[in-house]
Amino acid sequence: MSRIITYRAALREGLDEELARDPNVVLIGEEVAQYNGAYKVTEGLWKKWGSRRIFDTPISEAGFIGMGIGASMLGVRPVMELMFWSFHSVAFDQLVNNAACVRYMSGGLCHCPIVVRGPANGGTGVGATHSHIPEALFAAFPGLKVCAPATPADAKGLIKAAIRDNDPVYVMENTLLYGMSGEVPDPAAGDHLVPLGLAEVKRAGSDISLIAHGRSVIHCLAAAETLYAEHGIHCEVLDLRSIRPLDQDAILNTVRKTHRAVLVDESKPFGGVSAMVGMLIQEHAFDALDAPIQRVCSLDAPAIYSPHIEHEQLPSPRRIVAKVLAIT
């Protein structure tokens, strides 16, 4: 049994279920409680669970994230919301030096089972400071895990897996997906978990692989539809879902099947997730390729504000179609 619910509601359901399952799970962040969440992800949870389990913080990202890290070392399981992942920069020391390194520097004596979640996307007319897309940035630090769900079902399954994981997991959501609806298994059918490190083929195809994560997956599915309808090209769309751990087998399998790949990534081109995926393909599936790997990334500049042009900076179905046609 599935229901159609929004990405936002799916996340909320996942948080709610984990609050019920584990009394040590707490939700911490700016406006997450009494305000019901800046993007309403946590709507109703404060009323249901009260101020001990979910509470508002001042605008002190370094302070409250560090507080969550310290509490996690004692056994609390904090889930902390960054209103925008773009605000990571003021908490970077806590997110990296403390969360990523404390286990290592203590020779394994400490661990840090935290979740930091929030939207990490461009495309909403809020300018460069609020439009950073830091999946690859954090995935570059051993000790951290990063995922980026594209669908409501994956949003619920991944947030639950992230909360149960015993390492720090950074969940990168998307404000433009919060209102998107999709099928999510009924809770009565059992726990819906999506493990970290497991990609999913969202559309099977034989001619070319489109490899993406987050909202870019939605663009890939739209592009695949156009390419089939107008050009008879069968695209396979692989949703990475998790950036670190990364499902390398799924990446290599689809490339070996189709022999062509376009990597779609809302990051900037220099050192983005797609740069890493491209490297892995050439290293492990070089002989399977019939054409150079191509990428569709955000255009390489800070995020532009202008609503007239902002969407042109980001990956889009049109740009994906053009790139596919160039190598098929």
Partner 1 sequence: MTSATPPTLDFATSAINQALSAEQKTGLFTLMVRIRRFEQAALKYYNAGKMGGFLHLYIGQEAVAVGTISLAGPDDHFITAYRDHGHALAVGMGMNECMAEMFGKQTGCSKGKGGSMHFFAPDKNFWGGHGIVAGQTPLGLGLAYGLKYLGREGCCLCYLGDGAVNQGTFHESLNLSGLFEIPVVFVIENNGYSMGTSQERSSAYTGCLAQRAEAYGIAWDVINGADIFEVRAKTHIAMARARSQHKPTLLEIDTYRYYGHSVADANAKKYRTPEEIEHYKQNHDPITLLRRRLITEGVLTDATADAIHLAAAEEAAAAVKFADESPAPTVADIGTDVYWETDHATAASKIGRHFFND
User: Which residues contribute to the site for partner 1 (CB under 8 A)?
Assistant: 24, 26, 52, 55, 57-58, 60, 62-76, 93-94, 97-98, 102-111, 113, 142-143, 145, 161, 165-167, 195-198, 242, 244-248, 276
Smallest distance, Å, CB 282 to partner 1? Answer: 13
**Alpha carbon distance 210, 232 (integer Å):** 15
CB of 136 to partner 1, least distance (A): 12
Nearer to partner 1, 73 or 327 (CB): 73
| Measured torsion, CA atoms of residues 112, 164, 85, 13, in degrees rounded to the nearest 10 | -150
From the candidates 13, 81, 130, 132, which is the catalytic residue? 130
Cβ proximity to partner 1, 142 vs 232, nearer residue: 142
Can you say whether residue 246 is alpha, beta or left, with left for phi > 0 and alpha for psi between -120 and 50 degrees?
A: beta
Write down the catalytic residue from 13, 30, 61, 135: 61
Smaller CB distance to partner 1: residue 40 or 111? 111
Q: Any catalytic annotation for residue 13?
A: no
Burial class, 24, CB count within 10 angstroms (exposed 0-12 / middle 13-18 / buried 19+): middle
The contacts of residue 311 (CB under 8 Å, 6+ apart) are: 123
Taking the C-alpha atoms of residue 317 and residue 207, their distance in angstroms, rounded to an integer, is 17
CA nearest neighbour of 209 among 241, 240, 183: 240
Taking the complex as a whole, the smallest distance from the CB of residue 194 to partner 1 amounts, in Å, to: 10
Q: With respect to partner 1, which residue has the nearer C-beta, 10 or 240?
A: 240
In DSSP terms, 119 is beta-bridged to 173
Q: How far is the CB of 267 from partner 1 (least distance, A)?
A: 17
Nearer CB in complex with partner 1: 175/242: 242
Grouping H, G, I as helix, E, B as strand and the rest as coil, residue 224 is helix
Q: Which DSSP string do the residues of 117-161 spell out, in sequence order?
A: EEE----SS--GGG----HHHHHTSTT-EEE---SHHHHHHHHHH
CA-nearest of 154, 147, 214 to 184 is: 154
Smallest distance from the beta carbon of 63 to partner 1, in angstroms?
3
- Least Å distance between CB 269 and partner 1? 19
Is 130 a residue of the active site? Answer: yes
CA distance 199 to 251: 8
Is residue 264 helix, strand or coil?
Answer: strand
- 267 vs 313 by CB, closer to partner 1: 267
Give the active site residues.
Answer: 61, 130
